Amino acid sequence: MPIYLGFDSSTQGLTATAIDAGADSRRVLFTRSFGFDELLPRYRTQHGVLPSPDPVVVHAPPLMWAEALDVTFAVLRREEKIDWTRLRAISGSAQQHGSVYLNRSWPASLRTLVPDRSLAGQLEHVFARPTSPIWMDTSTMAECRQIEQALGGWDTVARLTGSRCYERFTGAQIRKFAGREPERYAETVRIHLVSSWLASLLAGRDAPIDHGDGSGMNLMSLASLQWSDEAMHATADGLDTKLPALAPPWSIAGSLAAFWMERHALPPARIVVWSGDNPCSLIGTGLVRENSMAVSLGTSDTVFGLMTEPQPSADGTGHVFVSPSGGYMGMTVFKNGSLARERIRDMYGLDWSGFSSALRSTPPGNTGSLMLPWFDPEITPPVHVPGIRRRELNPEDAAASVRALVEGQMMAMALHSRWMGRSPNIIHATGGASANREILQVMADVFDSTVVELPSRNSAALGAALRAYHADVVADGRNPGWEDIVRGFTDPVADRRIGPVAANVTTYRRTIARYEEFEREVLGERKRG
Ligand code: ADP
Ligand code: XUL
């Protein structure tokens, strides 16, 4: 029976999931995760990013992402005893927005990779910019304003591309690079996203950017699904020749290049275009119909769901992306996700079980104590200078601080996803922190919704494997329904449903109003100050 492989190159590591898609044998064959810091210490990353003296500048080495793919294939091939000859197609998911800048030697280097030498050694010279700005970078506020001004305002940009200009989006990052390092920009012949770059390596030729990850650049017209001439012009000169093609999410980018087949004894599997981690998670959490939403508690926290119309939010919050099925998805992103939870956990000397006990030992509503959890610059709401704020919260009180953080995160998610216009009855929870039932109980109470756990916490890698399956079937001339594709892989775990508690829901209705007011006050003070 056919096997499909999905990768997820996330901020902190690389995950691989293989599925058997046989009619009677549907199952996940394996999921393996490798943290970049431990797997490849020579790149000296911390949580997958390079240390930076300036908190708004966040880069990672693109060579590390490539090497991780090579090293991971070697481990999988050695340790996973599946019938690799049945591998039919490979796709992937990657952290969104990050960009890779390649010089003139890139096309030839890619075509002539030899299997008996390491991938990293052969790619060392292909970069016009040795490091890649990633989604955590917020250093492009000026460029955002310039692009918005050139295009006629933030709302015009949001209607054109699905989002107002965001600092981490690729357009503003490219503008900054072109303005500050014009020589290197001139040397750049190709700008890839993390997703399309890794797909290119597998296919041995430039892979397209899929419409889903393309929606995270402020460069693609959501209506025509083409690069927008006006947006490119407002961003940087000569961009039209540097960007790869755009393609639907189920496109085939080629077949596995000889380098990989020979080096790791793999068959000529189809390479399906990669996409962003959030579009892939939409599939990996089984959101193939419009009646539910998903919350991903990963490095970033995200709330997302399918949308019928590409209607951006009226106040500039959140994003509309093309979904892997070709429709649309709405999403709001919070930067202070798992890393903020880890900060509080470590600040009070806890482990995850102590963190959960703190939530169990404190009452919903936290007797009025609130926290704005902005340890790092925040994306939603936009906060450029980090700093947590407390109200009626004693910083010495560990348990109340844990609860204030988690409640703050959940209330911010509920508030800033209202623009998507739906109150979900069911939330599909995913990401590393969805292992924590106490956190999920706060989510259920704040959203007044049942929260279900999914069989896989690695929904992005699973979604990528399912996208590989879907695209392979489409390439064979069939038109499968998404419900058939995900069946058996994303069904919620039967005994892991967490329902809202009525009394807590009432408490949070009041607390959310107070939180909103607190947030508004502090944002106002910051603007004035
Ligand atoms: P990424 O977005 O990088 O793919 P993951 O979805 O793999 O991240 O989530 C990893 C994070 O999950 C870890 O950084 C950790 O903070 C968090 N995590 C793991 N277990 C727990 C737990 N029991 N409670 C809360 N958070 C957890
Ligand atoms: C999405 C975003 C993050 C990254 C994390 O807009 O910035 O969720 O994709 O990998």
pLDDT digits (tens, 9 = 90+) for 314-327: 999 999 999 999 89
Any ligand 2 atom below 6 A from CB of 162: no
Report, as an integer, the average pLDDT of 53-79. Answer: 97
Report, as an integer, the average pLDDT of 289-300. Answer: 87
For residue 28, which of 4, 8, 60 has the smallest C-alpha distance?
4
Residue 164, strand partner residues: none
At 475 the pLDDT is: 98
At 308 the pLDDT is: 85
pLDDT of 291 strictly over 80? no
Any ligand 2 atom below 6 A from CB of 302: yes
Q: What is the architecture, at CATH level 2, of domain 287-453+499-529?
A: 2-Layer Sandwich (3.30)
Q: Residue 482: which H helix or E strand, with range?
A: helix 482-486
Q: Residue 255: which H helix or E strand, with range?
A: strand 252-255
Reported as a single tens digit per residue, the pLDDT across 371-393 is 999 999 999 999 988 999 999 99
| Burial class, 349, CB count within 10 angstroms (exposed 0-12 / middle 13-18 / buried 19+) | exposed
At 494 the pLDDT is: 81
Any ligand 2 atom below 6 A from CB of 335: no
State how far the Cα of 412 lies from the Cα of 402, in Å rounded to an integer: 15
At 457 the pLDDT is: 85
Domain ranges of the chain: 3-279, 287-453+499-529
Higher pLDDT, 188 or 495: 188
Q: What is the architecture, at CATH level 2, of domain 3-279?
A: 2-Layer Sandwich (3.30)
Q: How many angstroms is it from 82 CA to the middle of ligand 2?
A: 32
pLDDT band at 17 (very low <50, low <70, confident <90, very high): very high
Residue 297, strand partner residues: 301
Q: Is the dihedral of CA 68, 242, 247, 139 positive or negative?
A: positive
Q: How many angstroms is it from 431 CA to the middle of ligand 1?
A: 6
Poorest-pLDDT segment among 40-54, 407-421, 423-437, 439-453:
423-437
- Please list, in sequence order, all residues whose beta carbon lies within 8 angstroms of the beta carbon of residue 78, skipping any fewer than 6 positions away: none
H helix intervals, 181-219:
182-187, 194-203, 211-214
At 425 the pLDDT is: 85
Report, as an integer, the average pLDDT of 350-366. Answer: 98
Report, as an integer, the average pLDDT of 192-221. Answer: 98
Q: How many angstroms is it from 149 CA to the middle of ligand 2?
A: 25
* DSSP letters for 498-520: EPPPHHHHHHHHHHHHHHHHHHH
pLDDT of 529 strictly over 70? no
pLDDT of 23 strictly over 90? no
* DSSP assignment letter at 241: H
Report, as an integer, the average pLDDT of 173-200. Answer: 98
Tokens of 291: 């009646």
CA angle at 207 for the pair 201 and 210, rounded to the nearest 5° = 125
Reported as a single tens digit per residue, the pLDDT across 430-473 is 999 999 999 999 999 999 999 999 988 899 999 999 999 999 99
At 288 the pLDDT is: 87
- Please list, in sequence order, all residues whose beta carbon lies within 8 angstroms of the beta carbon of residue 184, skipping any fewer than 6 positions away: 101, 128, 129, 177
Compute CA distances 375 → 76, 115, 117, whole Å.
Answer: 37, 44, 42
Please state, for a pLDDT cut of 70, what percent of the chain lies above it: 100
Q: Residue 33: which H helix or E strand, with range?
A: strand 27-35
User: Which residue type, as a one-letter code, is found at position 18?
Assistant: A
Report, as an integer, the average pLDDT of 408-418. Answer: 97
Q: What are phi and psi of 223, to 5 degrees?
A: -80, -45
Mean pLDDT rounded to a whole number for the chain: 96
At 275 the pLDDT is: 98
Q: How many angstroms is it from 360 CA to the middle of ligand 2?
A: 30
Mutate to test the pocket of ligand 1, among 15, 34, 299 (most ligand atoms within 8 A of CB): 299
Residue 133, strand partner residues: 59
For residue 203, which of 216, 192, 215, 218 has the smallest C-alpha distance?
192
From the DSSP assignment, how many helices (H) and strands (E) are in the chain?
21, 22
Topology alike, domains 3-279 and 287-453+499-529: yes
pLDDT of 121 strictly over 70? yes
State how far the Cα of 304 lies from the Cα of 144, in Å rounded to an integer: 24
CA angle at 308 for the pair 483 and 429, rounded to the nearest 5° = 55
Tokens of 94: 């990657």
Any ligand 2 atom below 6 A from CB of 195: no
At 9 the pLDDT is: 98
What is the value of pTM for the model shown?
Answer: 0.95
State how far the Cα of 73 lies from the Cα of 34, in Å rounded to an integer: 11
Report, as an integer, the average pLDDT of 475-499. Answer: 92
Tokens of 462: 């699973």
Tokens of 403: 């609860």
End-to-end CA distance of the chain: 63
| Ligand 1 binding pocket, CB closer than 6 Å | 10-12, 298-299, 338, 341-342, 352, 431-433, 435-436
Q: Residue 456: which H helix or E strand, with range?
A: none
Q: How many CB atoms lie within 10 A of CB 94?
A: 28
Any ligand 2 atom below 6 A from CB of 217: no
Q: How many angstroms is it from 3 CA to the middle of ligand 1?
A: 27
State how far the Cα of 61 lies from the Cα of 27, in Å rounded to an integer: 34
Report, as an integer, the average pLDDT of 410-424. Answer: 92
pLDDT of 301 strictly over 90? yes
Left if phi > 0, otherwise alpha if psi is -120 to 50, otherwise beta: which for 324?
alpha
Any ligand 2 atom below 6 A from CB of 417: no
- Nearest listed ligand to the Cα of residue 278: 2
State how far the Cα of 219 lies from the Cα of 173, in Å rounded to an integer: 12
pLDDT of 99 strictly over 90? yes
Poorest-pLDDT segment among 79-93, 152-166, 243-257, 482-496:
482-496
User: Which residue type, as a one-letter code, is found at position 53?
Assistant: P
At 227 the pLDDT is: 98
Give 3-state DSSP helix, strand, coil % of the chain, rounded to 5: 40, 20, 40
pLDDT of 277 strictly over 90? yes
b/e for 235-247, b at 16 or more Cβ within 10 A?
bbeebeebbbebb
For residue 19, which of 27, 8, 10 has the smallest C-alpha distance?
27
Largest CA distance in the chain: 65
At 237 the pLDDT is: 97
pLDDT of 527 strictly over 80? no
State how far the Cα of 418 lies from the Cα of 441, in Å rounded to an integer: 20
At 2 the pLDDT is: 97
